[in-house]
Structures are given as C-alpha cells and as structure tokens.
Amino acid sequence: MAKATKRFGQALSAAAMLAIAATVPARAETFTAEYVVTIFGITIARTSFTSTLDANSYAVDGTISSSGLGAVFDDTKGVVHTSGSLKKSEPQPTTHMLDYTSGKKKQRTTVRFENGQVVATENVPPPKPRRHGWVPVEAGDLTGVVDPLTATLVRANSLDEVCNRTVHIYDGELRADLTLTYAGKAPAVVGDFKGEGVTCTIRFKPISGYRKGSKTMDYLSAGHDMRVTFARMGETQFFVPLRGQVESRIGTVYFRVGKIS
C-alpha cells in the first residue's frame, strides 16, 4: 500500500499546488491549501501545502499524511517539494522531491529537469533488483515530461479546452500517460469555491518503470472510472482541480478541496 500512497500523495500535491497557483502575481506571494481524501465516506488522508509564486517561477512545500482509518492500516507521513519556472505562463519543473515514511519504510525520491527533460533521478534507498517482466525506463521516455504535481496545472482559454489533452508524467520510477477527455460541464461548489466546472474522464497508460502483469497497473489501465472536475481561478487562464475520484481495487477514492486561504 505504500506505493499506492506515494502515487496518490503526489496527485494530491498536484491538486493543492493548482488551487494556490492559479494566479501569477508580479511579486512573490504565499498561499495555503488543504485537501481531504476519503473512501466509503471515511477520511483516510489529509494534506496541507504552502506555496510561493511570482511572475516567473513557482514553488510548493507540503505535507501528506494518512488520517483516521487510513492511519490504522498504513501510517504514512511525507513532505513534498516542487519548483520550476513559468515560461509563457506554462509551468516547467526544475526540481521535484518526495520524502516519506510508511511504517518502517523510508523513501526519498528527487528528480531534476531541464526544459522538459529529466536530467537526473535519485532514489534513496535505491530500488531493489527488478523482477521478471519489468519494463525499464528508456532515455527516450524522459523527454517532454513533467512531475505529477506540475502535470495537472492546465492552461486554457475556456472550459471547452481543458480536457482534450494527454500529459506525460514521470515520478522518479513510473513513466505514464494521462489522457483527459471531456465529460461535461456543470456548476461546481467545493470548499470555498463557487463557479462553473468541467469534468474530464482520465485514461491511464503505463509506459515504463513498472512490471508487466502488475494487478494495480492492469486495473488502472483497464478504463475504470477516473475523473476530475476543473474550474477557472479568477480571471486567469489557469484551470485547477476542485475534486476528483479514482476507482481502485478496494473501492472509489475521492479527494476534494477542504480550504484555500
């Protein structure tokens, strides 16, 4: 469950960064965002993030922790940091780091980027020897990619343009594609936000850095229900996730904005 917690924590981190990075101020400003994760109506994780933005760059520092029933089965705590530049309002990561503890296991992953290409990956401790069926990450897989936090920051002229795109992500081990497809528009009220939202279905496709025959990878790539609702923040061209759901092998996991300040 630790790997699943890592992946999900990164996705939540991305959502939180988006909620606070919707504007690009001329001078540095600091924001805080909180998310809640539930399954079967029970809270299993919470996140809190503090981010600093200016006209040319972004950075986010946050904490991720299992909560409630989730802490009983998987006591996970971690910190995350992502920073990068805003070129023509498009985010380009330079550094992504995730450091977490799950039970007795500790893991730290650092990825460095230059112009959309991965130039260094460090995992401490290093990965164990790969078993039969492992799909290795090739050099060509690491061009035109972003980290999971940056991946969900969407720039578009309108709600109609948000969903039709494919994002190439790399988290330090897994390289995957996320394809967003338009599902519909409706008023959205989540946490402190009230406005119109657009919902995208998400199709997951592992590319490399995983084991063929993995039940988790097979399940996620089989087209089970994954969706996220985006909304425009203020008068900017940035659209951010307000809520989402991922159908897992044990049930549907939901996340939502709890508070933005």
pLDDT tens, residue by residue, 161-178: 999 899 999 999 999 999
Q: For 75-109, what is each residue's pLDDT tens digit?
A: 788 998 989 987 766 789 999 999 999 888 899 99
Is residue 176 a contact partner of residue 151, using CB atoms and an 8 Å limit? no
What amino acid is encoded at 254 in this protein? Y
Burial class of residue 9 in the structure, from the number of CB atoms within 10 Å of its CB (0-12 exposed, 13-18 middle, 19+ buried): buried
- For the CA atoms of 16, 19, 21, 26, what is the dihedral angle to 10 degrees? -140
Can you read off the two tokens belonging to residue 135?
């799909």
Q: Measured between alpha carbons, how far is 134 from 209 in angstroms, rounded to an integer?
A: 7
Q: Measured between alpha carbons, how far is 137 from 173 in angstroms, rounded to an integer?
A: 8
Phi, psi of 249 (to 5 degrees): -70, -20
Q: What is the pLDDT of residue 96?
A: 96
Q: What is the pLDDT of residue 20?
A: 38
Q: Measured between alpha carbons, how far is 148 from 137 in angstroms, rounded to an integer?
A: 17
Is residue 170 a contact partner of residue 111, using CB atoms and an 8 Å limit? yes
3-state secondary structure of 225: coil
Q: Measured between alpha carbons, how far is 42 from 38 in angstroms, rounded to an integer?
A: 5
Q: What is the pLDDT of residue 137?
A: 96
Average pLDDT, the chain: 80
Is residue 20 a contact partner of residue 49, using CB atoms and an 8 Å limit? yes
Residues of the chain with pLDDT under 70: 1-33, 51, 53, 67-74, 88-89, 190-192, 233-238, 258-261
